[in-house]
Amino acid sequence: MVKPVARLFQTPEKNIMAEIGKTASLMENVIDLSIGDPDMTTPKPLIDATTQAMLNGKTHYTASNGDLEYLQAIVNFHNQKFSSNYKLENVRATDGASHATDLAFGALLDPEDEVIIFSPYFSPYKVQVEQFHATPVFVTCKEEHNFEPQKEDIEAAITSKTKVILVNSPNNPTGAVYDKSTLQDIADLAEKYDLYLIADEVYWPYVFNNHEFTPLENMAPGRTLVTGSLSKVFAMTGFRIGYLLGPTAVVDAAGLLNEGVAYTAPSMAQSAGSYGLQNERSLSAPLQDEFGKRLAYLGEELNRLSWAKTIPVAGSIYLFLDISGSGMDDVQFSDYLLEKAGILVIPGQAFGQAGKGFIRIAATQGMDQLQKAVDGFKKLDFSKH
C-alpha cells in the first residue's frame, strides 16, 4: 500500500466536461463549441517574430522575472493604453494568466483565508484557492443583473477572513462586462475592508455592443493584481505567455514561489509577447471583429428559439444561453444536443451552481460551422421530453 495523494484530490468532483468530451471523441463530425481556444492561427507576424527570436538565440532561460524587453513592453502597454503608472518592479512574466493567478494566490493566501469569487466562474479558480488551504466563497451573479455582482451581495460575503476578491471581466463563462460603477463598488469595498483584488482580464479587447472595457488596475492600485494573458488577445494560447502586474511586495513574493514552479516564461514566447504588445491594435482588431460578428449572429439566431433566451453579448468569446425553457437541466441538454445535433458545448454547472440552466457556447469555430450549429439547434424538439 502506498499513501494516497493529497486530500484535496482524493475525492475529485464529477468532471462533467470530461464525460461529455469522452462521448464526443467517439463521434464523427462533431461541431466543437466547447473549448475557449480561438480557432484562428496565431497572426503570422507573431509567428515570424518568434522564429526570428529563436534564430537570434532566444532559446534559453531568461531572468526569472522575465526578459527585460518583454517586461518593458508590458509596462509601456498598460501605462499608455490604460493610463496606469507601472514600473518594471511591478511586473513578472508568467506562463499565461492561469499561472499568474496561481502565483498571485500563492503570494497572498494563508490557510483559512477566504477568496470571494463571482459565480458562474472560470472553473480552475476553485482548486487554485484550495491548494493553498484557503476557502473560495462564491457570490452569485444573476442574469437579471446582466451577470454583474451586486454590492450588497459582495459586502454580505465579506468576513474577517476575506483576503481577496477575484474579478473576471469580460467574464468567462457569462460574457458579462462589468460596468465602471460595479468595478468602483468592488474597489471601494476592497479599500473599506482592506482586501486585495485580482483582476483576470484575459478577454479585455473582446467587448461588443457599445460596452467598454474598464481596467480595474487604477481604481485601487496599491491592492490590485492584474493577471494578464496574450492567449486570447492574439490567438496564441499554445505559447503560454502572460504576466502578473501589481504591488512590488506581492510580485516579489510570487517570484519566490515561482522559483520552484516554472522559474520563468518561455523566452521565445516572451519575444512574441513583446512584438504583440508593441503592435497590439493591428494584430488584435481582426480577431475582435470576428468574434463580435460570430457572437452577434449566434445571439440573434438562438434568441429566436422559443426555448432559449440570451441577453445581448457584452464581451468575451462566449455566449451563455439560458436553456431552462427546454425543460431539461443543462447537463441533460448538453448530452441531448450532442446526441441529436452533434454539437459539443459546456453545461453551465461546470462553472458552479449559479450556471445551472445555462450552456456555454464558445464561438471558436468559423461562420460556416456556426451556421451548421444554428441549424442543429433549430431542429431540436423538446415536445417529447
Ligand X SMILES: Cc1ncc(COP(=O)(O)O)c(C=O)c1O
Given 70, 82, 118, 122, the residue binding ligand X (CB under 6 A): 122
Q: For ligand X, which residue has the nearest CB?
A: 96
Least distance between ligand X and beta carbon 384 (Å): 36
CA distance 34 to 26: 16
Rule CB under 6 A: is residue 218 a binding residue for ligand X?
no
Rule CB under 6 A: is residue 200 a binding residue for ligand X?
yes
Rule CB under 6 A: is residue 169 a binding residue for ligand X?
no
Rule CB under 6 A: is residue 362 a binding residue for ligand X?
no
Given 38, 96, 348, 352, the residue binding ligand X (CB under 6 A): 96
Least distance between ligand X and beta carbon 298 (Å): 18
Q: How many residues form the binding site for ligand X (CB under 6 A)? A: 13
Reading the block at residue 15, the C-alpha cell is: 468532471
Rule CB under 6 A: is residue 166 a binding residue for ligand X?
no
CA distance 81 to 368: 35
Is residue 305 within 8 A of residue 312, CB to CB? The reply is: no
List CB contacts of 17: < 8 A, sequence separation 6 or more.
34, 346, 350
Least distance between ligand X and beta carbon 319 (Å): 14
DSSP string, 216-246: STTTSGGGEEEEEESTTTTT-GGG--EEEES
Given 123, 169, 229, 284, the residue binding ligand X (CB under 6 A): 229
CA distance 19 to 232: 26
Least distance between ligand X and beta carbon 122 (Å): 4
Nearer to ligand X, 235 or 380 (CB): 235
Which helix (DSSP H) or strand (DSSP E) does residue 271 occupy? helix 267-278
Least distance between ligand X and beta carbon 289 (Å): 20
Rule CB under 6 A: is residue 284 a binding residue for ligand X?
no
Given 31, 33, 36, 185, the residue binding ligand X (CB under 6 A): 36
Nearer to ligand X, 359 or 374 (CB): 359
Rule CB under 6 A: is residue 231 a binding residue for ligand X?
yes
Q: Helices 280-303 and 367-379 meet at what angle, rounded to 10? A: 20
Rule CB under 6 A: is residue 242 a binding residue for ligand X?
yes
Q: Grid coordinates 478577454 are at which residue? A: 203
Extended strands (E) in 57-153: 91-94, 114-119, 135-140
Q: How many helices (H) and strands (E) does the chain have?
A: 12, 12
Interaction mask 53-92, ligand X, x per CB under 6 A: ----------------------------------------
CA distance 198 to 218: 12
CA distance 258 to 251: 10
Is residue 338 within 8 A of residue 26, CB to CB? The reply is: no
Rule CB under 6 A: is residue 113 a binding residue for ligand X?
no
Least distance between ligand X and beta carbon 318 (Å): 9
CA distance 326 to 291: 27
Rule CB under 6 A: is residue 348 a binding residue for ligand X?
no
Nearer to ligand X, 237 or 303 (CB): 237
185 Cα distance to chain centroid? 21
Rule CB under 6 A: is residue 202 a binding residue for ligand X?
yes
Which residues are near ligand X by CB under 6 A?
Answer: 36, 96-98, 122, 168, 172, 200, 202, 229, 231, 237, 242
